[in-house]
Amino acid sequence: MNAELSELMKGRWGIEHRTYAWQQCRYCGAAGNDHPPAKCLACGSIQCQRDSRCSICLYGVVSGFSLGYPRPVCGYAHCGKEPIARAPRVRWVCTDHLSRPSLTIAGQKISLTDYIGQRVDERDGTRRSSYPRIVRFIWMS
């Protein structure tokens, strides 16, 4: 087993969910079988391979998804690198340019890197959300 695969098998961030009588993914609660594990390329959170958008940082790209054809590249001029996150205005952004875009949340400007950091803190419960918490993340090994 390669290192990347063994990391994915250690556990993942799941979502607190209701349980129903039908078959559900143990981690995210979606109807159907367990999703395979995957990693967000921006915040590093291991999670279900359910959506190309990270359920924790909301902007990161989850590994293993096709982002369409032709393959999108970082939207900054003359970059052309593989994107690891979505971003306002430029659409896609690579590792090198992750701190460039800024978001406006409740009238406050915040860099994409800082926003992702805050979401990770919320995941870990080290930061109190200023909004009602909609999703609770649980580490499941």
> What distance in Å separates the CA atoms of residue 91 and residue 24, rounded to the nearest whole number?
33
Q: Which of 61, 59, 60, 88 is nearest to 75 (CA)?
A: 88
| 9, 37 contact by CB (below 8 A) | yes
Number of residues in contact with Zn ion under rule CB under 5 A: 19
Contact residue for Zn ion among 40, 46, 84, 87 (CB under 5 A) = 40
User: Residue 1 CB, nearest distance to Zn ion (Å)?
Assistant: 21
> What distance in Å separates the CA atoms of residue 46 and residue 54, rounded to the nearest whole number?
9
User: Residue 22 CB, nearest distance to Zn ion (Å)?
Assistant: 14
The reply to whether 112 sits near Zn ion by the rule CB under 5 A is no
> What distance in Å separates the CA atoms of residue 138 and residue 141, rounded to the nearest whole number?
10
The reply to whether 38 sits near Zn ion by the rule CB under 5 A is no
The reply to whether 17 sits near Zn ion by the rule CB under 5 A is no
User: Residue 16 CB, nearest distance to Zn ion (Å)?
Assistant: 13
Note the helical H segments in the chain.
3-9, 112-124
Four-CA torsion 120, 124, 127, 133, nearest 10 degrees: 90
Contact residue for Zn ion among 15, 61, 74, 87 (CB under 5 A) = 74
Contact residue for Zn ion among 67, 79, 103, 110 (CB under 5 A) = 79
| Binding footprint of Zn ion on the chain (CB under 5 A) | 25, 27-28, 35, 40, 42-43, 48, 50, 54, 56-57, 60, 74, 76, 79, 81, 94, 97
